[in-house]
Structure 1
Amino acid sequence: MSKGYVPSVGELEAFVACARFGTTVQAAEHLNLTQSAISRSLSSLEDRLGVLLFERVRRRLVLSRAGAVLLERAEPLLDDLRNASASAIAFGGASSVLRLAVLPSIGRSWLIPRLAAFSATMPDVNFDIAARLRPVDFAQEAFDVAIMRSQHEPPGADLVALLREEMVIVASPRFLAKGASLDDRDLQQLPLLQQSTRPTLWLDWFRERELDPRRMTRGARFDHFDMILDAAAAGLGVGLIPELIARDALDRGTLVAASPHRLVTGETYALISPERSRSNPAVTAFRAWLIGEIGQS
């Protein structure tokens, strides 16, 4: 497409503001511009594209069909530009940015408290970290690496197994006598905190213990394991949490193991990366560091 047909950022911002507010006056106030500047940008954009983007109805601007099509693409385009600018500002001093997708609870409870150790060895590498519960589509998302369960491995990706998932039962110390643990049947009588995206975990626990799961007392539901961690520490009930996430709280004594038994789910936490990351030295360094940290844990 000829450059003459490509709108400027200012024209798109004026167009989106007019579509949102319906008048050039309100659009101008929103963008901190004059009404005449908004009108000029709108007229210039319509001339550039050769279409009417608005119908003028009773002093209101109503999107034409062409305008509706443009708005659908223009809003996310402007959002992407703003995000790109913010990223450039945030990471302008770093020679390398590692874009990482991580399961929320592992990110909050395990990874982030340890990242200073990695940064001490690689000070020129900065992080752009996003929480993800679902598999990462590396073809559509610009992540360099992800920490997920192994079942989230997309086709063509490299996978390094880190640790098998073992669930432990945790509770506030107020639930237990010192050094004691709860009998499986005692557990059924306490509020059992639920993980909403993995609702069968307690069922699996009781079935493995050959107890009727229909007799258990269901407690509050939470999206993330770290929320269950906090809820258990606050005395809201008993949590069934991956040991990797619960370990620090158990070591600090804010939570105690409420049962000597564990649930091995058969899943594995893994470092997953796309083919394009194989030659990325930051990914190589992060992988080696992470394997070492998992070994120490």
Structure 2
Amino acid sequence: MIAPRRFLPSISSLLALEAVDRLGSASAAAEELALTQSAISRQLKTMEEQLGVELVQRDRVRLHLTPAAREYVQTARAALTQLAQASLKLKANPTGGTLSLSILPAFGMHWLAPRLQDFARRHPEVSVNLSTRLKPFDFASEPFDAAIHFGRRDWAGVDYLKIMREEVLPVCAPELRQKTSDPTWLLSAPLLHLDTRPDAWERWFAVHDLAAPGLRGMLFDQFSTMIPAVANGLGVALLPSYLVTDDLARGRLVTACDGPAVSLGSYYLVWPKERMIAPPLASFRVWLQEAFA
């Protein structure tokens, strides 16, 4: 049940309060909202009278939010943001059925995006909105229904659906490859690292029974910037096999040593436990499961 009307200020009043808090003055808030300064003051006064609480301390120069109002406006800002996002979803798909999905850039671009046409064909009633996030986040403060997660089942407060296991290969430019199949040469090679997988090389060496403490090298935030660096001879990188298949076939990259690909983690679809599963997410889960049946 929604709270009684007397506890719900108008949207215009909340917008005025949020703008004053963020911009620091009634004049700046008025300019942003295309109102007069006196109109901003009236909106705040109306809210104070409705709630029976002082929100603003006034002097001759400017308005100052009270400590209680500054705390209140944080919740109001989050609610306004969620309402705006819901409106955008409604506008994008007026028939209903929007899925907002957080993706990892490389996986989303090279694996998921080429397959989404099949999902769209099977479920034309669902609009999928994609946005990238590199690390786990709080679903309560982000506008997503679900997310693509890599690694282990270490995201708190979510349920998991395993999508696929990722296998990585050590690759480099052809001129950097040593004439040996022994992986020990990589211990002294320039190694490239992904900042969201800081222990990837240590784990790869451990699979080969090699100790590799204190590895150093260039750091990247995405595979998309790492691959050109590898191709230009800047070092050796651990890259997912699905990303380098074409480059290996064309000879642009080569494997840095012989041996099978190694798995350092899996991809999962995750969604918050406390929410009901909406039909678009349910359809997407079934589609993923069928894709890997």
Q: Indicate the TM-score class for this superposition, using the shorter chain for normalisation.
A: 0.7 to 0.9
Corresponding residue number in structure 2 for 1:201: 200
Counterpart of 1:68, as a letter, is: R
Equivalent residues of 2:103, 2:132 under 8 A apart: yes
Find out whether 1:43 has 2:42 as its counterpart.
no
Structure 1 position 10, deviation (Å): 0.5
Deviations 1:233-268 (A, max 9, x none): 343321112323433543465433222224534633
**Inter-CA distance 115–229: structure 2 relative to 1 (3 Å threshold):** farther
Give 2:173's aligned residue: 172
CA-based RMSD of the aligned residues comes to 3.5
Offset, 1:227: 3.6
AA at the equivalent of 1:167: V
Distance 1:235 1:257, change over 3 A: same
> Matches of 1:42 and 1:138 in 2, distance apart?
31
Equivalences for residues 8-157 of structure 1 within 5 A: 8-92=10-94, 95-134=96-135, 143-144=145-146, 146=148, 148-152=150-154, 157=159
Q: Which residue of 2 aligns with 1:250?
A: 248
SS at match of 1:4: helix
Q: 2:163·2:289 contact (CA, 8 Å) conserved in 1?
A: no
Q: CA–CA distance in 1 between the matches of 2:278 and 2:83?
A: 28
**In 2, distance between residues paired with 1:278 and 1:17?**
33
Structure 1 residue 56: deviation in Å? 1.4
Which range moves more in the overlay, 223-232 or 146-155? Answer: 146-155
What is the number of equivalent residue pairs in this alignment?
287
Distance 1:104 1:260, change over 3 A: same
Q: Deviations over 1:206-250 (max 9, x none)?
A: 34434452596x321123344433432343321112323433543
Instruction: Give the letter aligned to residue 208 of structure 2.
Output: R
Q: Which residue in 1 is equivalent to 2:230?
A: 232
Question: Residue 73 and residue 145 in structure 1: after superposition, are their counterparts in 2 closer, same or farther (change >3 A)?
Answer: closer
Gaps of 5+ in 2: none
Distance 1:62 1:215, change over 3 A: closer
Secondary structure, counterpart of 1:36 in structure 2 = helix
From the superposition, tell whether residues 33 and 249 of structure 1 become closer, same or farther in structure 2 (CA, over 3 Å): farther
Equivalent residue letter for 1:203: E
Separation in 1, partners of 2:16, 2:39: 9
Judged with a 3 Å threshold, the aligned counterparts in structure 2 of structure 1 residues 69 and 157 are, in CA distance, closer, same or farther, namely: closer
2:89–2:98 CA contact under 8 A, matched in 1: no
Q: Decide whether the 8 Å contact of 1:108 with 1:226 is kept in 2.
A: no
Task: Deviation per CA, 1:113-170: give whole Å up to 9, x if none.
Answer: 33234334433332123444555777887525645445247678353x4433322012
1:295 maps to which residue? none
Q: Is the 8 A contact 2:173 2:232 kept in 1?
A: yes
Aligned pairs for 1:209-220 (under 5 A) are 209-213=208-212, 218-220=216-218
Q: Give the CA deviation at 1:187.
A: 2.7
SS at match of 1:261: coil
> For residues 22 and 139 of structure 1, what CA distance do their matches in structure 2 show?
27
Measure the CA separation in 2 of the matches of 1:137 and 1:17.
Answer: 25
Return the TM-score normalized by structure 1.
0.78
Structure 1 counterpart of 2:7: 5
Instruction: Give, in whole Å, the separation in 2 of the partners of 1:118 and 1:268.
Output: 22
Kept in 2: contact 1:169–1:262 (CA 8 A): no
Maintained 8 Å contact 2:150/2:268 = yes
The 2-side partners of 1:117 and 1:169 are apart by 32
TM-score, reference length from structure 2 = 0.79
Structure 1's 126 and 278: CA in aligned 2 closer, same or farther, altered over 3 A?
A: closer
